[in-house]
Amino acid sequence: MAAATASASLCLRANGNRARFRIEPSATHSKRHRMLVVRSDLDSNVSDMSVNAAKGLFPPEPERYRGPKLKVAIIGAGLAGMSTAVELLDQGHEIYMNQRSFIGGKVGSFVDKQGNHIEMGLHVFFGCYNNLFRLMKKVGADKNLLVKDHTHTFVNKGGEIGELDFRFPVGAPIHGIQAFLTTNQLEPFDKARNAVALALSPVVRALVDPDGAMRNIRDLDNISFSEWFMSKGGTRKSIQKMWDPVAYALGFIDCDNISARCMLTIFALFATKTEASLLRMLKGSPDVYLSGPIRKYIMDKGGRFHLRWGCREVLYDRSADGGIYVTGLAMSKATQKKTIKADAYVAACDVPGIKRLLPQDWRESQFFDNIYKLVGVPVVTVQLRYNGWVTELRDLERARQSRQAVGLDNLLYTPDADFSCFADLALTSPEDYYLQGEGSLLQCVLTPGDPYMPLPNDEIIKRVSEQ
């Protein structure tokens, strides 16, 4: 049972306070005030994940290619497609990228007619994202992340705060042990049972034998995390109060559906590397501070983007032995049509996209038919602009009158709302989201998003605001 991937997102933005929403004049969006923030250059507070890691998780730079130069056509300009383009360009190949509307995919963003940056989803960067950090360094985006306090914060009903606090003078695994033993998110009994379950997990073996631990973890791919956790003595309340919000944030599905392999892989990284659980967030919108630098690097290297061109058909033929080989891509843009020919083709799509793209005849091959067994999870992302600071809403006058940005500058989990995680972007990513004279900009991730997909925008905003 593998973790499903997000397949759809709906981004909404509203202005207001509590259940009342007012639309601000667009002129207010030009009143930007630069806040003093601490930046990270990825040269500190980063663990080298490749040291004593399971083989294959953190590969080195690919060896130098010595064959002929190839023309490569890539469908999709999300993070997967663009990172592929960067590596191929570094190897001397010619790249053509095709994307429907804007680059970035699930980690993209765009500017609406009022000048607001709208994100496709809420994105945080764990300290174990070494492969991504290597890419960001290469394209000059390594100074675009802001380090958050090394604690995972849970906001419970009534505004009560629980923490999994990794701040400790001694690093892994001691800092993680003390975080779980001292957390106030769980009752003592649940903490004790949680400790027993983790002590009986492959995570302990990862401290001395990472390859052996990863083999054990991969063997758990066919059972859910809930099934594994409770079989080791964990409690249902621990799942509801702590692990479900974490699972939703990681894979958009709960512990009854996410694979034990997914969760335990992350736990093993957290247990063995001090900074693996340290969170960072972009200092502004993804299009400016993540996708933008990657796009510039690709274009500076000679790569070309063809936006608003959709792939209507993969053209192919069969060899004498029955093998399939691609002969071209049939593309269209409004009334225009063209066929792209290349030496190699890459499809970097989401789950629904690749299902639509592949020719049905290819399902004769088990390799391609397995793709149709993947299930996408709809995700709704809502952005709410308030005229005060959300953490001060118990005192509405103080919330409205505060001239300084105040609140929780971190990713926030919650077990008590339809959105499993959220953040105040005006605090976490102030370059594009802090506006002088305005307050919090909450970005809330509704997972699963199925119940919200058919609802009108106003109803979605109303329900999220009430929660």
Q: Mind listing the pLDDT tens digit for each residue in 189-211?
A: 999 999 999 999 999 999 999 99
Please report the pLDDT score of residue 25 as a whole number.
Answer: 30
Q: How far is CA 406 from CA 148, 221, 314, 426, 464, in A?
A: 15, 42, 52, 9, 21
Alpha-carbon distance 429 to 424, whole Å?
8
- Residues 6 or more apart whose Cβ sits within 8 Å of residue 208: none
Higher per-residue pLDDT: 3 or 366: 366
Distance CA 298, CA 310 (A): 20
Q: Are the C-beta atoms of residues 272 and 279 closer than 8 Å to each other?
A: no
Give the whole-angstrom CA distance, residue 467 versus residue 463.
6
Which comes out higher in pLDDT, residue 162 or 102? Answer: 162
Domain annotation for the chain: domains and CATH numbers: 5-42+379-466 (no CATH), 71-144+285-373 (3.50.50.60), 166-277 (1.10.405)
CA gap 307, 106 in Å, rounded: 16
Report residue 5's pLDDT band, with 50, 70 and 90 as the boundaries. Answer: very low
Higher pLDDT, 389 or 16: 389
Within 10 Å of residue 22's Cβ, how many Cβ atoms? 10
CA distance 332 to 352: 19
Residue 123 has pLDDT above 70, yes or no: yes
Q: How far apart are the first and last CA of the chain?
A: 31
389 has a pLDDT exceeding 80: yes
* Nearest Cα residue to 55 out of 207, 203, 219, 210: 210
For 15-19, 259-263, 373-377, which range has the lowest pLDDT when averaged over its residues?
15-19
Greater model confidence, 236 or 387 = 236
Closest C-alpha among 101, 141, 135 to residue 118: 101
pLDDT of 137 reads: 95
Above 90 in pLDDT, residue 34?
A: no
Residues 6+ apart with CB under 8 A from 78: 103, 104, 105, 106, 107, 108, 348, 350
User: What is the per-residue pLDDT for 392?
Assistant: 62
The C-alpha atoms of residue 377 and residue 451 are separated, in whole angstroms, by 12
Chain centroid to CA 325: 33
Q: What is the pLDDT of residues 131-158, one digit of tens each?
A: 999 999 999 999 999 999 999 999 999 8
Determine the pLDDT at residue 402: 54
Average pLDDT, the chain: 88
- Unique residue bearing structure tokens 């080791």: 232
Distance CA 128, CA 278 (A): 8
- Mean pLDDT for the stretch of residues 239-263: 96
Over residues 38-60, the pLDDT tens digits come to 556 687 788 888 888 888 888 88
Q: How many CB atoms lie within 10 A of CB 236?
A: 12
pLDDT at residue 21, as a whole number: 37
Distance CA 67, CA 381 (A): 44
pLDDT of 33: 44
Q: What is the share, in percent, of the chain residues with pLDDT greater than 90? A: 75
What single DSSP character describes residue 173? T
- Say yes or no to pLDDT of 343 above 70: yes
Q: Which of 10, 8, 24, 6 is nearest to 118 (CA)?
A: 10
Helix (H, G, I), strand (E, B) or coil at 241: helix
Residues 6+ positions from 429 with CB-CB distance below 8 Å? 146, 281, 282, 283, 284, 285
Mean pLDDT of 403-418: 88
Write the pLDDT tens digit of every residue in 374-388. Answer: 988 899 999 999 988
- As a whole-number percent, the residues of the chain with pLDDT over 70 amount to 88
The single residue listed with the structure tokens 């174990």 is 128
